[in-house]
Structure 1
Amino acid sequence: MAAAEPASSGQSAPQSQAQGQWAPPASPAPPSQLGGPAGGSSRHEKSLGLLTAKFVSLLQEAQDGVLDLKAAADTLAVRQKRRIYDITNVLEGIDLIEKKSKNSIQWKGVGAGCNTKEVLERLRDLRAEVEDLDLKERELDQQKSWLQQSIRNVMDDAINSRYPFHGCTSLPAAKE
C-alpha cells in the first residue's frame, strides 16, 4: 500500500510543512527586515546601553547637574519615555541621581555651578599645575645644590682659609 501524495502542481512540499509544522525559511531574511542599514536604524542604535551613554552625557552637560527628562527624551529622540525611566530608575537605585520633581533629576553630590564635565576639566588643570610645580621644584633643588657646592668651594679654598668667617658677631663693628 503506497502513501498518498498531496495533489500539487508538480512540486512537493517539505515533509514538515505537509504535516502542518513550521519550517524556517531557506535563506536568511534581507537586512531591511532585520533592521539593518537599508531598513532604518540598527539594533545597536536602539540599544539601552547606547541610550544610557547618551543620557549620561546629557546629564554631565546639564547646568547644576539638573536635567529635565522631557527635554532629554526630545533631545535623544526617544519614542518610548519608558526607556528613559528605566535608566533613571537604575541610576536612582545606585544613588547616582535623585529626583527633584516629577520630570527632573539631579546628579548627586554636585554643587551649584559644578557638573561632572567641569570637575574633569578642573582635575586636568590641577594635574597640569602640579606637573609645572614639580618642574619648578626640581629647578630650585638644582640651584640650591649649586649654591651649596659654591659655598663648600669657597670654604675649602686654601687662599680663603687665611680669612675665616665665624659669623657677623665676630666682626669688630658688630661688637659696638
Structure 2
Amino acid sequence: MPEAGAEVLAFLEVHLSRAYLDHEINYGFKKVRVRLRLGVDPRPRLVERLENGNTIADAHLSTGGTLEEPFWEISSPKVLQGDYVTKEGPLAKFAAETGARVTAELSAHLFDGSLDINNSNAASNAKTRIIERLVGVMISDEIEVDGRIKLSSHSIRFEE
C-alpha cells in the first residue's frame, strides 16, 4: 500500500512493430516518445529517473521534459521493432500516496522523419494515407502542438 511518500518503481515494457497499410506498404517509426503525466490530487512526486546515455534493446534512450512532466525518447537509425524493456533498473521512481495517478503515453512524430515507409515508389501517396489512417484512429481528439500523435495511453492509480 503506498503510504504518504511510499516509494513506487515504474519500469518500461513496450513492444513495437511495423504496421500494414495494405499488402504492399508497411510502416514503422524510428523514434517514439514515452511521457509520464502526473496526476494532481494527490500528486506523485518524481524522485529519480533514468537519464540520457542509456541503451534499451538496440535503441538509444534519451531523457527530456521536467520532473513535473518527464519523457523519454527511444530512437534508432532503423525502424523500432521488438521489445523495449528497462531491465537493469526502473524508468522512474516516485514518492506516492494511495490514490495518486500517473498516465503513461506513447507517441510518435508524423513529420520529423521518424515515420518510415517500406515502399519508396509509393512513399508520398502512402505517407498521406498512413497519416490519414493514424489520425482517424487517434486515441485523443487532437495532435499535440509539436505534431505528435498519441499511439497508446495507460492510466495507473496507486492502490493499497
Give the TM-score of the pair, scaled to structure 2: 0.26
Give the TM-score of the pair, scaled to structure 1: 0.24
Q: Larger strand proportion, structure 1 or 2?
A: 2
User: Which has the bigger relative contact order, CA under 8 A and spacing at least 6?
Assistant: 2
Q: Larger helix proportion, structure 1 or 2?
A: 1
